[in-house]
Amino acid sequence: MDTPARLADFEIIRRLGAGGMAEVFLAKRRGAEGTFKLLVVKRILPQHVESPRFRTMFAEEAQLATRLNHPNIVQVYDFQDYGDEGQLLSMEYVEGPDLRKLQRATKAQQTRIPPYVVAFIIGEVAKGLHYAHARKDERGAPLEIVHRDVSPQNILLSFEGAVKIADFGIATANVFREEPGVLMGKTSYMSPEQARAERVDRRTDIYSLGVVFHELLTGRPLHGAAEGQELLEVVRSGHVEPPSTFARGVPSELESIVMRSLSREPADRFQTARDMAGAITRALFAKQEVVDSHSLESVIEQLVGREHTSPGVEAPATVGSVSELPPASGSSLEQGSRLHADAPTGPGGPDPKRDLKNRVGREVRHVAIVTLRLHGGEDLAKA
- The reply to whether 157 and 27 lie within a common domain is no
Alpha carbon separation from 195 to 6, 228, 236, 249, 377 (Å, rounded): 40, 12, 6, 31, 47
In one-letter notation, the amino acid at residue 31 is G
What's the chain's length in residues?
383
pLDDT of residue 181: 60
| Residues spanned by the domain of 120 | 95-383
Cα–Cα distance for residue pair 92/156, rounded to 1 Å: 11
pLDDT of residue 129: 98
Q: Looking at residue 31, which CATH number applies to its domain?
A: 3.30.200.20
Q: How far is CA 266 from the centre of its chain?
A: 21
Strands (E), 127-253: 155-157, 163-165
Cα–Cα distance for residue pair 333/301, rounded to 1 Å: 10
- Which of 74, 92, 110 represents a domain boundary (last residue)? 92
- The reply to whether 327 and 251 lie within a common domain is yes
In a domain, 205, yes or no: yes
Strands (E), 93-193: 155-157, 163-165
Radius of gyration of the chain (CA): 22
- Which of 92, 125, 140 represents a domain boundary (last residue)? 92
Could you list the active site residues? 149
- The reply to whether 75 and 112 lie within a common domain is no
Alpha carbon separation from 299 to 121, 253, 362 (Å, rounded): 11, 22, 20
Q: Is 260 exposed, middle or buried (0-12, 13-18, 19+ CB in 10 A)?
A: middle
Q: Convert the pLDDT of each residue in 227-245 to its tens digit.
A: 999 999 999 999 999 999 9
- The reply to whether 157 and 127 lie within a common domain is yes
pLDDT of residue 20: 82
In a domain, 141, yes or no: yes
In a domain, 73, yes or no: yes
In a domain, 372, yes or no: yes
Largest CA distance in the chain: 67
Cα–Cα distance for residue pair 120/290, rounded to 1 Å: 10
Q: Are 216 and 118 in contact (CB under 8 A)?
A: yes
DSSP 10: E
Q: Of 153, 110, 143, 138, which is closest to residue 20 (Cα–Cα)?
A: 153
- The reply to whether 61 and 138 lie within a common domain is no
Cα–Cα distance for residue pair 55/151, rounded to 1 Å: 24
Q: Which residues pair with 156 in a beta bridge?
A: 98, 164
- The reply to whether 30 and 172 lie within a common domain is no
Q: Are 303 and 333 in contact (CB under 8 A)?
A: yes
In a domain, 243, yes or no: yes
In a domain, 248, yes or no: yes
Q: Which residues pair with 187 in a beta bridge?
A: none
Q: Are 304 and 161 in contact (CB under 8 A)?
A: no
Q: Looking at residue 301, which CATH number applies to its domain?
A: 1.10.510.10
Residues of the chain with pLDDT under 50: 311-383
- With the C-alpha atoms ordered 123, 20, 204, 167, is the resulting torsion angle positive or negative? positive
- The reply to whether 87 and 34 lie within a common domain is yes
In a domain, 87, yes or no: yes
For the chain, how far is it from start to end, CA to CA, in angstroms?
Answer: 55
Q: Is 217 exposed, middle or buried (0-12, 13-18, 19+ CB in 10 A)?
A: buried
pLDDT of residue 177: 53
- The reply to whether 259 and 371 lie within a common domain is yes
Alpha carbon separation from 235 to 63, 172, 195, 226, 263 (Å, rounded): 31, 21, 7, 10, 12
Number of domains composing the chain: 2
Q: Of 164, 98, 24, 95, which is closest to residue 313 (Cα–Cα)?
A: 95
Q: Which H/E stretch holds residue 28?
A: strand 22-30
In a domain, 1, yes or no: no
- The reply to whether 208 and 72 lie within a common domain is no
pLDDT of residue 172: 79
- The reply to whether 130 and 210 lie within a common domain is yes
Cα–Cα distance for residue pair 299/294, rounded to 1 Å: 9
- The reply to whether 67 and 171 lie within a common domain is no
pTM summary value: 0.79
- Which of 92, 114, 137 represents a domain boundary (last residue)? 92
pLDDT of residue 307: 65
pLDDT of residue 178: 59
Q: Of 48, 41, 47, 36, which is closest to residue 17 (Cα–Cα)?
A: 41
pLDDT of residue 57: 87
Cα–Cα distance for residue pair 89/78, rounded to 1 Å: 6
- The reply to whether 143 and 34 lie within a common domain is no
In one-letter notation, the amino acid at residue 117 is V
